[in-house]
Amino acid sequence: MTSGSTLVRALAGLALGTVTAVLTVLVAPALLSARVATASAELERRRVDAFLNARITPVGVDRRRAAAYLCARVPAGLLGGVILALIAIGVVTAVRLPVGWWVTGRDLDHIPPSPAIIAYIAVTGIVLAFLAVQGLVGVAAMERRLAARFLGPDPLDAYRRRVAELAASRAEVVAAVDDERRRIERDLHDGVQQRLVALGMLIGRARRADDPDRARDLLRQAHDASRLALADLRETSWRVFPSALDSEGLGSALEAVAERAPLPVDLDVRLDGPDRPPREVETAAYFVVCEAVTNAAKHAGASRVAVRVAGDGRILSVTIIDDGTGGAEPSGGGLRGLARRAAALDGTFRVVSPPGGPTEITAELPCG
């Protein structure tokens, strides 16, 4: 949203607040009704949220609290109306004077134009306009504070919810670590361990072979098995934590993911600002991309994946879109682990995967 549209919305919100303040004074006895008071307070909350960008979490308020808010905001609403009226008068005056000078040589108050008069009126108008704008800013801030104080969640309840969120986040992190350990164990057991067992068996058979040609053939097979075991070990260690993520950053690590992926990956990484995102944020973003690309290749039957990573120093946004069959379950093991990673950083994680596709995975991770 542009600054111009934001200003227009704020002015409209303050003007509407003046109207509702006047109506509150006129129908004050009706506020004794719980239905009228709570409905009016909810309309005011929506006004402040929509026009003044308050972002107040809706909570149920009783009649007493709603009526107290409506009465407390009357002075702010009336003050906003007075300032808007003064601004309107100033605009009319600013238009009337030059028009009067241009048409008749004198304005409607018979003040002839002169450099001193023009300079005086211009300086005075600029100062008054500045004071009026600051007054509107103050009124808007007052409206937001009053709405948050009376209509928002109680501070103690907010602290309790935050403590509960942190406790749940800690439990999610522990669960994610346990899941990651189980996956590493499965990778080692089903991949590297099996190949090492086969390698040992080939070497044992080569030692017992009487035929030199047979022994050389077995040793050649053992050599091939050792290379495969080493490749599996490297792959497992890469999935645990890539060294490029520490040394070269998120962009280079994701380029390696795109190169190693079994399907084409369109990668677009745009990180604004001189500093890299925090290490834990880069790690979470890396594993989100890895898991999403792996799922697209193994389960979705996708032919192409698009990965977009953007950061502005405050939020790191990761979006992965594949052209597969869709139907991904956010409660699945891999995606649930990614949601836990994002929650541990106070981030958000969203999966949109209708049957037939496409699947879109989005993670937004705060950097501060």
Kindly state the percentage of the chain with pLDDT values over 70: 86
Cα separation of 197 and 222, whole Å?
A: 11
Q: Are residues 215 and 325 in the same domain?
A: no
- Each residue's pLDDT tens digit, 166-222: 776 666 666 666 666 777 777 677 777 777 888 788 788 878 877 888 888 878 888
Q: Are residues 146 and 194 in the same domain?
A: no
pLDDT higher at 160 or 169: 160
Q: Are residues 140 and 213 in the same domain?
A: no
The pair of structure tokens assigned to 84 is 């808007």
The predicted pLDDT at position 107 comes to 55
Q: What phi and psi values does residue 234 have, to the nearest 5 degrees?
A: -65, -40
For residues 343-354, give the mean pLDDT.
85
Last residue of a domain, one of 208, 240, 272: 240
Q: Are residues 163 and 141 in the same domain?
A: no
Q: Are residues 102 and 214 in the same domain?
A: no
3-state secondary structure of 193: helix
Q: Are residues 14 and 145 in the same domain?
A: yes
The predicted pLDDT at position 78 comes to 92
Last residue of a domain, one of 206, 240, 274: 240
Last residue of a domain, one of 207, 240, 273: 240
Contact 17, 84 (CB under 8 A): no
The predicted pLDDT at position 82 comes to 92
Q: Are residues 183 and 280 in the same domain?
A: no
**What confidence tier does 319 reach under pLDDT thresholds 50, 70, 90?**
very high
Q: Are residues 8 and 149 in the same domain?
A: yes
Torsion of CA 37, 38, 40, 41, to 10 degrees: 110
Q: Are residues 361 and 283 in the same domain?
A: yes
Kindly report the CA angle at 288 between 287 and 292, in degrees rounded to 5?
Answer: 110
Among the residue ranges 164-173, 259-268, 271-280, the one predicted with the least confidence is: 164-173
**What confidence tier does 235 reach under pLDDT thresholds 50, 70, 90?**
low
3-state secondary structure of 297: helix
The total number of structural domains in the chain stands at 3
Q: Give the structural domain span for 271.
A: 248-366
Q: Are residues 264 and 325 in the same domain?
A: yes
The predicted pLDDT at position 1 comes to 46
For residues 105-126, give the mean pLDDT.
73
